[in-house]
Structure 1
C-alpha cells in the first residue's frame, strides 16, 4: 500500500505563526520584520537580512543586525537599567519574573511553533524546550531567597551569547534567572535562528518591567561591546570552541567574570558489557534533535570482542529513527508527528556534514548505516537541502574532523578498541567533553575507569544531561571556561558574595574572580 500524501497541519504555517506574533506583541513585530530591544524600548534599527526556514525553505524573518556604534549605545543603556534594577527589592523582582512566566505559559504553543519553523525542532522537543525554561525558572523563584542570602548583584549587566539550538531552556532561562538575581540582562540573538521566538519571549518579559536588552548582529561586529565593554559585569557564552577561545582570551585579559560552555566530543564506551536490551532502548533517544545538542553522543567506543553483539543492538535502533517535516500530517485532524528530528540548522551545515562523511569514507572509514531521506516523513516536492539522514561510520580516519570533533548532526562514529588504555584514549579524543557514558557490567571496573574519562559528567549505562537544579554543570579541558553553573552555582556565578570568593570553575590559576 502506498504511503498517504502528507500536507501541512492547518493553522501551523509560518504565515499563521507570524500573524499571531503581530497580534500578541505589535511593539516588537512590525510588518515582516522584528525589532531590537534596548534602552527600555523596541527600536526600529538594524539591517534585516533575508532568511529561510530549514524546515522547507519558506522565507521567514531574519535578525535585524545592529552596527557596532548602536551596540555600544545599547550596552550603555543596559548599564543604566542595571543601576536601577539592582536596587529593586527581591519580592518585587520575584513578582515580575513570575508574571513573565505566566505570560510565557499563556503563549507556550506559539513559542514552540516558532521554534519549529526557525530552528527545525520537532513539535515534541519544541514544547519541551519552552516547558523546561518555564519550569526551571519557577524553581529558582521558589529558591531565590535562600540563594541570595548575603549576596548582591554584579556591578554591570550580564551579557549572553548563546548558540541557536536551545533558545528557551538555555538562553531565556538564564536571562530570567540573572534578572531575578538583580542584574540587567543583555542577549544577542543567535545568527543562525530563533530571533522570532526570542523576540516574543523578550516582549512578554519586558512588559513586566524586566531589564532586558535583545539585539542582533554579527559576532565580530558586536563582540567589542558585548564582551569587552567595561560596562559588562559578566559574559555568558554557549557555542563552539573557535569563537569560545576568542571570548575566553578577551575575558581573561580583562578580568571579567565569565561562563563559557563549549563543544566536546561526548563518547559512549562499551566495555565488558552484556545488557544489550538496556543499551538498545537508549540508542534511538541519542538521535533526538539530530544530535544538535551539547550533550549529544556521536561517538561509540566499543570493545572489539563485543562488536557483533553491539551491532546487532545498534543497527535496529538507528533504523527506527524517524526524520522529516515536523508539521506534516496525513490528515488535517491528525496530531503532529512524533519525529526524532527534522532538518539541521541550515543547508550549509547539511552540506558540510555530508562532505565530511564522504571525505571520511574516501579515507578509509567504513559506512555501517546510511539512512535515506526518501524514506522520511516529508511533503511532496519539499526542499530537503537542510536535511541529513542518520549515518554511522566505523573507524573514521584520524585526519577527519569526525575523528576528534563534535559533528553537531546525525552522524555516529564507532571506534573499536582492545584494551582499557585504548578505550580511555578514544573516549578522550577531544581534550575534554561535557558528558560521557560507560556501559560496563562490573561496578568496580566502572569506578576505576570513570574518573579517567575527561568529561564533567559520566553516566553508567545511561546518558547524562546538562541539568540546572540540584546538580552543577561544567566541563573539562577545552569544553568549558569559567564558572560552573546549576542550582545555587548559577546564581553565585552572577552575584557577589563574601570578599575574595572564587566560584567553582575552570579559571586560570592567576585569575581571581572579583
Structure 2
C-alpha cells in the first residue's frame, strides 16, 4: 500500500497547476477579405469597376474621369478604393446630362417604371451579401447591421412599388432631377432607397458619393439600377467643388440632403435663395429623459441597443437627462448595459467555420473621428466632467496586431462642461453624457439643449405626466419609455428647429416631396414662410 504522502517528513512537492487551454488568435473569416469583395465587385459590374478603382456614372455611361483619392478601411487600415473626384465643370456637364435623362424618363409609363425598379430590386437581392460585405469594409458596420441596411432598402422600395399607383394620383414628376447629398452611415437604406423611390415617381436622380465611405457599395447598386434603365447619376467630389452644380444648378428640381448642421445650413441658405424644393435632414442632440420612473428592469436591454453602430446614426441617443433623486437607480440599470457591449473587428473569427460575431459596433468611420472624440473626452474630463464608464481597447474583439486607431470604446460622462461640444452637440460616436436635474423645467431645458432634434424619449410611470411634458420637447418624434426611429413608410418624419428644413417625408409624403400636385398645394414641413401643415 502506498504511504500517505502527507505523513512523510520533509518538504512536499507542489502539485502541478493545470495549464489553461490556449486561446487561438482571431483570424479573418475566409472569403470576406477586401480583395475577395473587390474581385466579386469586378465580376458583378465590370462596367463600373476597373482594375483598382471605380468610375463615375453620368450621361448613362460609366466615365473614366475623376482623380481617385487614396482611402483606407476603418476596420484595420486596409487600402480600399477611393472616390474618383470630379471638378466643378464636369459636374455641371453631369447635371445637364441628367436633365436630358429626366425629360425622357418622366414620360415613361408608370407600369414600365415599376417593372424596371422591380428588376433592380431583384438584382440587389441577388447581390445582397456582396453589398453588405462592401458596407462592412467601407463604413465599418457589423455584419448583421450591414445586411439589415441592404434589406431595409430592398423591402422599403418594394413597398413603394406596391403603393405607388395611389400615391401618384393627380401628381406629376418635378421639372428637373432630384439631387441627393447624403452622409455615409446608411448608403443603402437611406440613399439608394430614396433614389429608387424618386425614380419610381418619375424623376431622374443624381447622387454624390459620401466623402467618408460607401463608394463601392453605392457604385455596385447604381450599376445594377443603370442596367435596368434607371436614369441614375453617381459622382464623387468635394462638397465645395460640386455644390454649385448639385445644389444651385437651375436644372435641379429638388435637393435632398442628409448630414451635419454646418453643411446643411449652407445648403439651406442656397435653396431658400433659389426657391428650390428641398428636404434637409440635419443632426440634433437626441435626448432621453428620466422623470418619476421606476421600471428599471426593462431599461437595461433597451439601453444596450442604443449603442448599435456606435451611435453613428441620426436617431441615436447620446444624452440622458435624469432626475437627481433617481440617479442611483438609473446607474444600476445603465452600467450593466454599457459593460455588456461588444465591439471590435466585424469579420474576425476564432475558427474558419465560426459565424461572424454579433457585435454592437465596429470602428468609427475613420481614425480622425476616433481621435477627435478621444480628445473631446479628455478635454471634458479636464474641465470637470465625471467619467462614469471608460472602456478600453483591451476589451475589443480584434485580429492580432491589427490597426485599431479607428476604434473607440464606450464612454460615459456625467455633467459635460458647458464649454465642451459634448454638452450641446451630437458626438456621432459611442459617448453618452448624463445631466442631472431637479425640476420639470430643468428637465425640459436640458432635453432641448440643441434647438431641435429628430427624436427624443421620456421615461415616466405616469401617462398624464408624459402627455403634459412630451409636447414641450423639441423633437419631431417623442417615445414613451422606448426609442423612436426614423421610419420610412406609413409614418411622417421630419425634425424641429435646426434639425430639419424643407419638406417632411415618410410614406406618401416622400413621394409628394419629389412630385408636383395641385397649384395651391403646400407640402408639410419646415419652410421659411409657413409652419407644419395638418
TM-score band by shorter chain is over 0.9
- Equivalent residue runs for 1:198-217 within 5 Å: 198-217=218-237
Aligned counterpart in structure 1 of residue 97 of structure 2, from 77, 81, 85: 77
Alpha-carbon contact 2:526-2:532 (below 8 Å) kept: no
Which structure's CA Rg is the greater one? Answer: 2
Aligned counterpart in structure 1 of residue 381 of structure 2, from 348, 351, 361: 361
Alpha-carbon contact 1:101-1:134 (below 8 Å) kept: yes
Q: CA deviation at 1:278?
A: 1.0
Given the alignment of the two structures, is residue 255 of structure 1 paired with residue 275 of structure 2, yes or no? yes
Given the alignment of the two structures, is residue 302 of structure 1 paired with residue 322 of structure 2, yes or no? yes
Q: CA deviation at 1:3?
A: 4.2
CA–CA distance in 2 between the matches of 1:326 and 1:332?
A: 14
Aligned counterpart in structure 2 of residue 468 of structure 1, from 483, 488, 501: 488
Tell me whether 70-79 or 2-11 shows the greater mean CA deviation. 2-11
Q: CA deviation at 1:454?
A: 0.2
Given the alignment of the two structures, is residue 195 of structure 1 paired with residue 250 of structure 2, yes or no? no
Q: CA deviation at 1:511?
A: 11
Alpha-carbon contact 1:502-1:512 (below 8 Å) kept: no
CA–CA distance in 1 between the matches of 2:472 and 2:415?
A: 22
Give 2:32's aligned residue: 12
CA–CA distance in 2 between the matches of 1:446 and 1:79?
A: 49
Aligned counterpart in structure 2 of residue 348 of structure 1, from 352, 358, 368: 368
Give 1:403's aligned residue: 423
- Aligned residue for 1:182, secondary structure, equals coil
Q: CA deviation at 1:375?
A: 1.2
CA–CA distance in 2 between the matches of 1:481 and 1:355?
A: 31
Alpha-carbon contact 2:343-2:361 (below 8 Å) kept: yes
Given the alignment of the two structures, is residue 286 of structure 1 paired with residue 280 of structure 2, yes or no? no
Give 1:421's aligned residue: 441
- Equivalent residue runs for 1:138-287 within 5 Å: 138-287=158-307
Give 2:457's aligned residue: 437
- Aligned residue for 1:274, secondary structure, equals coil
Q: CA deviation at 1:5?
A: 1.1
Alpha-carbon contact 1:7-1:330 (below 8 Å) kept: yes
Give 1:128's aligned residue: 148
CA–CA distance in 1 between the matches of 2:211 and 2:24?
A: 37
CA–CA distance in 2 between the matches of 1:146 and 1:463?
A: 31
Given the alignment of the two structures, is residue 40 of structure 1 paired with residue 60 of structure 2, yes or no? yes
Alpha-carbon contact 1:255-1:511 (below 8 Å) kept: no
Q: Unaligned stretches of 5+ in structure 2?
A: 1-19
- Aligned residue for 1:268, secondary structure, equals strand
CA–CA distance in 1 between the matches of 2:512 and 2:289?
A: 34
**Cα offsets for 1:6-42 (capped at 9, x unmatched):** 0000000000000000000000000000000000110
Q: CA deviation at 1:510?
A: 7.0
Given the alignment of the two structures, is residue 331 of structure 1 paired with residue 362 of structure 2, yes or no? no
CA–CA distance in 1 between the matches of 2:532 and 2:370?
A: 42
Alpha-carbon contact 2:524-2:532 (below 8 Å) kept: no
Aligned counterpart in structure 2 of residue 454 of structure 1, from 474, 477, 500: 474
Name the TM-score, length of structure 1 as normaliser. Answer: 0.99
Name the TM-score, length of structure 2 as normaliser. Answer: 0.95
CA–CA distance in 2 between the matches of 1:327 and 1:79?
A: 42
4+ residue runs over 4 A deviation: 510-513
CA–CA distance in 2 between the matches of 1:371 and 1:21?
A: 37
Q: Unaligned stretches of 5+ in structure 1?
A: none
Aligned counterpart in structure 2 of residue 60 of structure 1, from 77, 80, 83: 80
**Cα offsets for 1:461-509 (capped at 9, x unmatched):** 0000000001010000000000000000000000000002111000001
Aligned counterpart in structure 1 of residue 119 of structure 2, from 99, 107, 124: 99
Given the alignment of the two structures, is residue 375 of structure 1 paired with residue 403 of structure 2, yes or no? no
**Cα offsets for 1:307-364 (capped at 9, x unmatched):** 0000011001100000000000000000000000000000000000000000000000
Q: CA deviation at 1:4?
A: 3.4
The count of corresponding residues between Structure 1 and Structure 2 is: 513
Q: CA deviation at 1:374?
A: 1.1
Alpha-carbon contact 2:75-2:345 (below 8 Å) kept: yes
